[in-house]
């Protein structure tokens, strides 16, 4: 049987988006993320992080730094008894026109294959419209969880969005509760 999955964006969704996070010490998880992901795991969802990390192509940090940040992230999740099933990142610059930078779907396709995922039973959770776009393109349900300080600005452009999310959440736990009713 194929697995259902939650694809989760990293910056701005799991942790506060400090723009080009380069230091594990600056990794700050949003409230409710650990508890929320634990609830999803307990329902049998695979948890897959999908993140754009153009800071690598831009020369702001090297992959080793990214791996160190992901070690810290994994450790923080472990405190909630959560083991992440996969972390996929795009290291490219937008100008590289790669197929893996969201809203492109290369990383999703890789994850779907490697984890035998049924995308129709899966969700994409992210803070940006590009997360919604990528999720829609692969055929997942999508939840937008805007960061609090940019929420109003983001939602004011709603009419121009190419893809509308299935749900706009107040915060991470609200997104989780919605998924738990929806799936």
Q: Binding residues for Mg ion, per CB under 5 A?
A: 9, 11-12, 127-128
| Residue 9 designated active-site | yes
Nearer to Zn ion, 64 or 97 (CB): 97
Q: 98 vs 63, 108, 152, CA distance in Å?
A: 18, 13, 31
Q: Name the segment binding Zn ion (CB under 5 A); options: 13-21, 58-66, 99-107, 159-167.
A: 99-107
| Residue 11 designated active-site | yes
- Residue identified by tokens 């969700």 is 123
130 binds Zn ion (CB under 5 A): no
Kind plus residue range of the DSSP H or E element containing 143: strand 141-144
Which among 9, 17, 127, 131 is annotated as catalytic?
9
Give the shortest CB-95-to-Mg ion separation in angstroms.
20
101 binds Zn ion (CB under 5 A): yes
Q: Read off the DSSP letter of residue 60.
A: S
Count CB atoms within 10 A of the CB of residue 66: 20
98 binds Zn ion (CB under 5 A): yes
- By a kind-dependent CB cut-off of 5 to 8 A, residue 100 interacts, out of Mg ion, Zn ion, none, with Zn ion
Q: 61 vs 67, 90, 102, 170, CA distance in Å?
A: 11, 13, 20, 32
175 binds Zn ion (CB under 5 A): no
């Amino acid at each position: 049987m194929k697995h259902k999955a939650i694809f989760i964006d990293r910056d701005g969704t799991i942790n506060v988006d400090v723009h080009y996070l380069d230091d594990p010490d600056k990794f700050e998880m949003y409230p409710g993320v650990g508890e929320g992901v634990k609830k999803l795991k307990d329902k049998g969802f695979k948890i897959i992080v999908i993140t754009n990390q153009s800071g690598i192509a831009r020369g702001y940090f090297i992959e080793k730094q990214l791996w160190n940040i992901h070690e810290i992230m994994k450790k923080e999740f472990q405190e909630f008894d959560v083991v992440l099933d996969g972390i996929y990142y795009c290291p490219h610059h937008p100008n590289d026109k790669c197929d893996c930078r969201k809203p492109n779907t290369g990383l999703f396709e890789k994850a779907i294959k490697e984890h035998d995922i049924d995308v129709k039973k899966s969700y994409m959770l992210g803070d940006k419209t590009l997360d919604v776009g990528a999720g829609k393109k692969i055929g997942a349900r999508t939840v937008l969880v805007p960061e609090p300080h940019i929420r109003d600005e983001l939602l004011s452009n709603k009419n121009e969005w190419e893809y509308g999310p299935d749900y706009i959440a107040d915060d991470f736990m609200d997104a989780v509760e919605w998924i738990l009713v929806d799936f």
